[in-house]
């Protein structure tokens, strides 16, 4: 399975055009979007998803902390929200967590750790496949990919515990723009593709194993 992962569009039209262009070059089976499609606007976020939907056979997404919570209920054609759900595609279970832990900025979609834990466990109850991939706007807490430029870990503690206990094969996240990269956590490969508004994305191949390549502008 060929997967393209994008995150952090932040309403930039050029980011959407770049994502569509890369998708046309790769012809992925699946696109994963890890949130922050726009700034606060539900209609703008939905339009971005629709604009990207024709670039793959299926698109799974979660909202970011800059997206309204209402986006979690959006679906259209081959576009499906993963927030609090686990959907099967190509023999793989995809489980999602949108938003981000509460922070100092009061963004539209923030949660406490209990909310995240309950949502992840609810999604896991729907898991029926042999391999699990998590799509979360926030990275797991306490790794390189949740480290801000000020040296603060800003990830989700509930997600960290979930990764250690449920042992997914892959976690796709975003949120911390400066923490682009790939690392191993427990038995999972964790990837933050970097913000697509800066031209970044991740190309992922899933077969007997998982291979991740970070794409550059």
Confidence of residue 33 (pLDDT cuts 50, 70, 90): very high
155 and 140 Cβ atoms separated by less than 8 Å: yes
Q: Judge whether 25 and 53 are in contact, CB under 8 Å.
A: no
Helices 113-124 & 157-166, crossing angle to 10 degrees? Answer: 30
Task: For the chain, give the percent of residues with pLDDT over 90.
Answer: 92
Burial of 176 (0-12, 13-18, 19+ CB in 10 A): buried
Contact 163, 140 (CB under 8 A): yes
**pLDDT at residue 208 tops 90:** no
- Give the predicted TM-score (pTM) of the model: 0.96
- Give the SS3 label for residue 3: strand
pLDDT attached to residue 103: 86
pLDDT in tens, 90-145: 999 999 999 999 988 889 999 999 999 999 999 999 999 999 999 999 999 999 99
Q: Which domains does the chain have, with CATH numbers?
A: 2-215 (3.60.21.10)
In angstroms, rounded to a whole number, what is the distance separating the alpha carbons of residues 201 and 23? 10
The answer, yes or no, to whether residue 160 has pLDDT greater than 80, is yes
Question: Cα–Cα distances in Å, from 172 out to 52, 105, 134, 176, 190?
Answer: 18, 23, 6, 12, 6
- What is the spatial distance between Cα 36 and Cα 98, in angstroms, rounded to a whole number? 9
- Kindly give the interhelix angle for 42-53 and 13-26, rounded to the nearest 10 degrees: 20
pLDDT band at 185 (very low <50, low <70, confident <90, very high): very high
């Amino acid at each position: 399975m060929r997967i393209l992962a994008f995150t952090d569009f932040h309403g930039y039209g050029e980011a959407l055009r770049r994502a569509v262009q890369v998708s046309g070059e790769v012809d992925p089976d699946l696109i994963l979007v890890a949130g922050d499609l726009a700034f606060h606007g539900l209609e703008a976020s939905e339009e971005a998803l629709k604009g990207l939907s024709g670039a793959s056979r299926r698109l799974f997404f979660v909202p970011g902390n800059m997206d309204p919570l209402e986006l979690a209920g959006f679906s259209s054609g081959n576009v499906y929200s993963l927030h609090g759900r686990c959907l099967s595609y190509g023999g793989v279970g995809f489980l999602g967590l949108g938003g981000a832990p509460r922070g100092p900025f009061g963004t539209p979609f923030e949660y406490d750790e209990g909310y995240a834990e309950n949502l992840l466990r609810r999604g896991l109850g729907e898991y029926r496949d042999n391999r699990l991939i998590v799509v979360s706007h926030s990275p797991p807490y306490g790794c390189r990919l949740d480290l801000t430029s000020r040296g603060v870990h800003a990830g989700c503690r509930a997600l960290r515990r979930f990764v250690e206990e449920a042992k997914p094969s892959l976690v796709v996240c975003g949120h911390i723009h400066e923490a682009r990269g790939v690392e191993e956590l427990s038995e999972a490969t964790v990837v933050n593709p970097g913000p697509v508004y800066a031209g970044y994305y991740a190309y992922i191949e899933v077969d007997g194993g998982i291979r991740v390549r970070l794409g550059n502008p």
